[in-house]
Amino acid sequence: MRKQYRLLFYWLFIVWFWSGQVYAASPTCTTGSKISSGDLAISGNFTIQDDLGKYINLGTNKVTTPYVFYAPNTHIAISRKFTVSNIGVYDASVNPLSVSLSNFTTPTYFSASPNPLTVQFTKQGELIITWLPLVVGGITGNVEFCVDDPLFGGRFVIPVEGVVEVPDSTPATPIMNVFNGTTQFTDGQTTPFDFGTTVVGTPIQKVFKITNTGPGILHVGALNLPQGFSQVGTSPSSTNPLTILPGLSENFTVRFDALNAGTVTTQLFLSNDDPVRDPFNFAIRATANIYPEIVVLIDGVDTANNSPTAINFGTVALNKVVQKNIVIRNAGSVHMTLSNLTLPSGFTASTPLPTTVYAGTDSYFTIQMDTTTGGSFGGAVSFVNNDPDENPFSFTIAGTVDPSLPTDPVIPPPTGVSPEINVLLGATSLVSGMTSPVDLGTAMVGDSFTKSFIVQNLGSVEMHLSNLTLPAGFSLQGTFPTTIYAGLSNTFSINVDTAAVGTLTGTISFENNDTDENPFSFPVTATVSAVPVPVDVPEIAVSYNNNDIVNGTMTATNLGSATVGTSLIKSFTIQNTGTLAINLSNLSLPTGFTLEGSFPSVVGAGLSATFSIKVDTTSVATLIGTLSFNNDDADENPFNFPITATVTAVPTTGGGGTGTPSIPVVYPTIALFEGETALPSAQTTIVDFGAIEIGTTVTKTFTLKNTGSIPVNLGNLILPNAFSLVGTFPNQILAGFSSTINIQLNSTTAGGFTGSFSFTTNDPNNSTYRITLTAQVDAPFISVTSGDVTIQNGATTALLFGTNTKKTFVVRNITDAPVSVSDLVLPTGFSLSGRFLATTTSLAAGSADIFIIQKDSETASGVMRFKFNRSGGINKTFSFPIAVTNTGGETPSTSPAKIQLFDGSVEITDGSSNATDFGIASVGTPVRKTFTIVSAGNAQLNLGTLSLPTGFSLIGNFPAVVYAGLSSSFTVQLDALTTGTYQGTLSFSTNDTSKTTFNFPITGTAEFCRAFATILLNSTCFTLPVIQSIGIVEKTASNTVDSVKFAGGISVNSGAFTQTTTMNGFVGNPVVVAGSVQVNPSHIGQQADIITVGIYRPLPNLADAWYMMDASNPVLWDADFATLTARQTGLTLQATQSVVLYQGEFLAPGQLFIFFGYRLSDGQIIYTADSINVTIQ
């Protein structure tokens, strides 16, 4: 502890010293007083990184190679970004110290902004250097600026060079390079880049950087990856290409999926418009192994194999019960086998070593020290396992039994003691028979409104519950507990009917065997309010030639071309799709463009207005820049997008004079259109055919127009792979006429397809007319069956119901990524029986689910459809016709019966070796699973007696018959009466001739003190206070706080846990901060991190500081979620999780506000919005 005091005082001294001594000085910062020493790449109070991620050293002798800014023409701005990071220290008053860059001087046509740039402590800022040339040629020089860092400040320089390529007949071309870190790849490289080695089920991601070192703009289209690899994100792709300006770069991420064992060596392809490197390809390799990976946790700490540090059982009195749970986690991909446990003398296994730990799960055994005789005991614990590099696993334990210590009295078991009931709503304890109603709160009409109650048994014998009665307007969600063992608790949840506005009241009551509180009853009230009136807001939309323009897009809107001296005016439409008028102002146009007429100042709700832009055609030029204007749409202000236009030279005239030509010049002029949209001849003109599935087609019609004065001749049509011509291609179009062609996308293989659509002409300005076609062809995402019938998407033959009242449909995800299914639409005369799939948000890879449609009319027919997409992609529609006839129906019962069995959305295979896991239950709190049986054949399915292994029981009835095309269900319970792992085979007989005895393994574990709001510490089960408010850092589109609950608190000197406490001193007062989480059901089984953060407020009230907990220590945090480390990583989420957030002594007086939660692999964090509060006096 004295060492901790010394560290604290030393830290305070450093803060005082630097704040009082160093920061008093100001650096010299005059032109010419440049720094001549110091390496800012590795030291100093600030750093600067360029736009390629490289740290730069700013002394005059440090930067020798200038940063080059390429512009394809004059009047085109090129910018590069430099990131400034403040890594300084606190000043004496614990206020952040800023670092400023100011007094910029720049060469001609260069500018730097902002001036000044001020960066606060631990933050970052962006310095933008821009090159806007007005003449052709090159400029070199230095960007100089002052840095007011008191330690390493002064005048600094960044050398720059601006280059304007002289326009000629050859367009500027890009040069594409690809990097991973500092490793550069060669186009066509055959030596594979190695992603590394992982285990099956644990993907590896690599980030690649594309740089453009040429003078032209680089466009990167589809990323083509082989099987086993996938793209993270949506860009680059045919529908979302990357546009990289000269001298800049963009990143993309590739994931090795690690779905199967083995080494994959293949090629990565990137389509682009670098004329030398299209496509850019190089070899990649990755390996996935399949084996178990053992992790041993003792007291929550990861214990290394053969660790020399003994696990100490402490020094205890005679007959004291001392145990430690040894948690064995399988972090690998296959199940792990354990055997041959050896223990040193003086220790026994009170809970046996498990024989199997399945992939991604935990199990445990318990070691107990023999305290019947005095002495010191110790030695090695060892057991055999099938982890290839940690077999056997061994660690050392030690403990002492001191006969001189007072012996714990032997307390006989209680006799004649009754249970003691306590009911909680949140942290509020309810009194049986109370007269004041419990207010459950207010919800709007149609909203979900659920409240959960906790029933605790504070007595010494088990408590039995029954006969729950609820008032009108209230209903039970889930199940009502029937047994609660001594010292434990359980919950039940009540739904409030929100169908109509009003106040609902009544009494909740249930029977129990507490002698003085039976029945337990209390009044409740809840309010349902009207939905609030929507607030009127404006909503802007801008279009050109009926094509919507996205605010902030990087793709320039092409206004076309004109010859020098002619007129080129184009109009834009502003539409207000909102419910309130929208105000417009401050139109800004780039050089070469002017407003023609007036710009509208207001557009009424539901109305539209136009404005026109005139292109300056006084000289040959390619004009490009950003159009911008202000508006009061809250999320699209300002509205801005790039525009471009081309001014070409006047064609050469014939004749011998300088006046009117003696012979008129005549030639054809070809133009290509899709609808009303002009498609100029350019590789950057892209027509996207969208995404289709293998086996389907999409056709687009293009129009060829001859606006010249003589016929245009056409030939040599070339189309990219997967595209074909439907019909004929014209060989000539007369002057003033047009012709149409049809191009079809039709591929038998999956992948992204991008290439040139070109043809030759006698138009002197377009001798080869060329644009780019792109499309995505996907393998089917789902299969749909009904009985033995596989239904094709877009089928034209109706599926007949006949005499059947209902039909069951099975939807299966046949991809290796999640597929969402939603928005079922049925024709008139049909209705949904029950729910549309158990999980309407997502079907896991390879999983399936069912839904049932019933006929409501004998003459109904029509198309049934629903939407689906993969991993957040574009929605697709699955559709097929259904109908009812007066004849038909099921095949006579002589045709075979067929069974399908589901656990939620996961289909279970007969004879499967993969156990269905009920998870980990708390002793006294059973866990249930409901299984669905589908009769998928054309005959009645008959079922025999259900057989279950020890520890499991049937809840309700097991069906004897399931009629053809229908389904039924049964529920199995993991009883969890005592601790242990329960496993065995579930089986029953059927009349499916291929599955006469349907069987599969089931498993589950019961542990003491595993219920929500409890935690096991030193063999004692503690109750944690329930925390009411929940927050979410939402990195995905769905809100997943439903059903999540938190409990947590602090225990001082092994006392009870409370959410708020005050401590008198911190020396000699050990604390434990712990939490418990009931996770969202959809998150169970996912990998997650436990995160803990806190605000420390010194006394007296100085500035707050944020801290985060890593595996062992608190670490200063900058409140940026990107830098947030975890208390515990790689946790496989169970239904409930309890975790120690901090254990030890605090180091200083002050106030602490502690928050915790769990972080999913997609970055989503669900946490306690209320804190655990500690005041240390």
Type and span of the H or E element at 788: none
Say if residue 27's pLDDT is above 60: no
Last residue of some domain: 332, 367, 401? 401
Structure tokens at 875: 């929605």
CA–CA gap between residue 490 and residue 1010 (Å, rounded): 11
Same-domain pairing of 1057 and 1166: yes
10 domain residue, yes or no: no
User: What pLDDT is recorded for position 315?
Assistant: 92
User: What pLDDT is recorded for position 357?
Assistant: 80
User: What pLDDT is recorded for position 106?
Assistant: 92
Report the CATH number at residue 988.
Answer: 2.60.40.10
**Residue 835 CA: distances (Å) to CA of 509, 849, 868:** 31, 11, 17
Same-domain pairing of 467 and 586: no
**Greater confidence, 992 or 499?**
992
What 3-state DSSP class applies to 635?
coil
Strand order in the sheet with 608-615: 547-549, 540-544, 569-576, 608-615, 593-596
Cβ neighbors of 900 (< 8 A, separation 6 or more) are: 810, 907, 933, 934, 936
Type and span of the H or E element at 5: helix 2-17
User: What pLDDT is recorded for position 889?
Assistant: 36
Contact 496, 443 (CB under 8 A): yes
Give the burial class of 458: count Cβ atoms within 10 A of its Cβ; 0-12 exposed, 13-18 middle, 19 or more buried: middle
Say if residue 397's pLDDT is above 80: yes
689 domain residue, yes or no: yes
762 domain residue, yes or no: yes
φ, ψ of residue 1176 to 5 degrees: the values are -110, 110
Say if residue 427's pLDDT is above 60: yes
User: What pLDDT is recorded for position 531?
Assistant: 58
Say if residue 376's pLDDT is above 90: yes
User: What pLDDT is recorded for position 533?
Assistant: 47
Say if residue 841's pLDDT is above 60: no
Give the closest residue to 645 by CA, choosing from 616, 677, 685, 684: 616
Residue 221 CB neighbour total at 10 angstroms? 25
Contact 172, 216 (CB under 8 A): yes
399 alpha carbon, distance to own chain's centre = 47
Say if residue 487's pLDDT is above 70: no
Same-domain pairing of 613 and 565: yes
Say if residue 1's pLDDT is above 50: no
pLDDT digits (tens, 9 = 90+) for 265-309: 888 888 888 988 888 999 999 888 777 888 888 876 788 899 888
Same-domain pairing of 944 and 1018: no
Say if residue 342's pLDDT is above 50: yes
pLDDT digits (tens, 9 = 90+) for 636-660: 999 999 898 888 877 644 444 444 3
Percentage, residues of the chain above pLDDT 70: 85
1061 domain residue, yes or no: yes
Structure tokens at 367: 């070691």
Contact 330, 359 (CB under 8 A): yes
User: What pLDDT is recorded for position 282?
Assistant: 93
535 domain residue, yes or no: no
Same-domain pairing of 1027 and 1165: yes
661 domain residue, yes or no: no
Mean residue pLDDT across the chain: 81
Could you give the number of structural domains in the chain? Answer: 9
Min mean pLDDT across 18-22, 322-326, 437-441, 1081-1085 is at 18-22
Same-domain pairing of 391 and 437: no
DSSP state letters, 324-371: EEEEEEE-SSS-EEEEEEE--TTEEEEEPPPSEE-TT-EEEEEEEE--
Say if residue 94's pLDDT is above 80: no
**Residue 459 CA: distances (Å) to CA of 206, 379, 513:** 56, 40, 11
Same-domain pairing of 812 and 852: yes
b or e along 635-644 (b: 16 or more beta carbons within 10 Å of the residue's beta carbon)?
A: ebebbbbbbb
State the pLDDT confidence band at 663, using cuts at 50, 70 and 90. Answer: very low
pLDDT digits (tens, 9 = 90+) for 536-592: 788 899 998 877 888 887 677 889 888 888 888 898 999 988 888 899 999 999 999
Tokens 């000085």 correspond to 25
Say if residue 22's pLDDT is above 60: no
CA–CA gap between residue 948 and residue 932 (Å, rounded): 16
Same-domain pairing of 309 and 368: yes
User: What pLDDT is recorded for position 1091?
Assistant: 92
The pTM of the full predicted model, rounded to 2 decimals, is: 0.34
Report the CATH number at residue 1031.
Answer: 2.70.50
Min mean pLDDT across 355-364, 683-692, 1056-1065, 1161-1170 is at 355-364
Structure tokens at 392: 């056997």
- Please name the amino acid found at residue 126: E
Say if residue 349's pLDDT is above 50: yes
Say if residue 8's pLDDT is above 60: no
Tokens 């445990």 correspond to 364
φ, ψ of residue 784 to 5 degrees: the values are -125, 125
CA–CA gap between residue 321 and residue 285 (Å, rounded): 55
What 3-state DSSP class applies to 18?
helix
Count of H helices and E strands in the chain? Answer: 1, 93
Last residue of some domain: 401, 435, 450? 401
Give the closest residue to 103 by CA, choosing from 151, 153, 140: 153
Averaged pLDDT, 912-939: 86
CA angle 650, 651, 654 (to 5 degrees): 125
CA–CA gap between residue 481 and residue 464 (Å, rounded): 8
Min mean pLDDT across 62-66, 820-824, 1100-1104, 1158-1162 is at 1100-1104
Same-domain pairing of 814 and 701: no
Cα-only R_g, the chain: 37
Min mean pLDDT across 95-109, 361-375, 651-665 is at 651-665
Report the CATH number at residue 500.
Answer: 2.60.40
Cβ neighbors of 764 (< 8 A, separation 6 or more) are: 667
Domain housing 857: 780-889
Same-domain pairing of 142 and 212: no
Same-domain pairing of 694 and 799: no
702 domain residue, yes or no: yes
Tokens 């095309």 correspond to 965
Min mean pLDDT across 334-338, 371-375, 914-918, 1129-1133 is at 334-338
CA angle 509, 514, 518 (to 5 degrees): 35
Residues making up the chain, counted from first to last: 1177
Same-domain pairing of 554 and 597: yes
How, if at all, do strands 1172-1176 and 1060-1063 pair?
Answer: parallel
CA angle 724, 730, 732 (to 5 degrees): 150
341 domain residue, yes or no: yes
Last residue of some domain: 975, 991, 1008? 1008
Contact 753, 723 (CB under 8 A): yes
Structure tokens at 1080: 């969202």
Min mean pLDDT across 141-155, 391-405, 981-995 is at 141-155
CA–CA gap between residue 43 and residue 475 (Å, rounded): 65
Say if residue 494's pLDDT is above 50: yes
